[in-house]
Amino acid sequence: MPLSEDGIREELKKVFDPEMFVNIVDLGLVYTIDIQPRDDGQSDIRIEMTMTSPMCPAAPEMIDNCKRVLSPLPGVNAVDVKLVLDPPWTPDRMTEDARDQLGIF
């Protein structure tokens, strides 16, 4: 099965913010996913994501976990995760599932 943005987002739902106990996709932390096909049939994945706060102490752990869940996927050569702070994260980026999980109505 070829790599797709939707498939990668589903895999990234396995990565949780360790302070909020909600996955990074439902929190709205993942901004962009770019799949770069290579000549050898593999693909490089580039992700831009943010944190709920600029000084989030869990950032290194979440970046490592993104790489850990995506690297073993068939067809993946490399995973690059870049933290961005613009635009800043706001709670309105969360899905309804995340809001329900956190009790935000």
Q: What is the pLDDT of residues 46-101, one digit of tens each?
A: 999 999 998 889 999 999 999 999 999 999 999 999 999 999 999 999 999 999 99
Query: Does the structure show a pLDDT above 90 at 1?
Result: no
Task: Tell me: cis bond preceding 87? Omega within 30 of 0 counts.
Answer: yes
CATH class in words for 5-102: alpha beta
Q: DSSP H helical segments within 1-105, as ranges?
A: 5-12, 59-70, 96-102
CA 54 – CA 73 distance, rounded (Å): 30
User: For the whole model, what pTM was predicted?
Assistant: 0.92
The whole-number pLDDT of residue 103 equals 87
The whole-number pLDDT of residue 81 equals 98
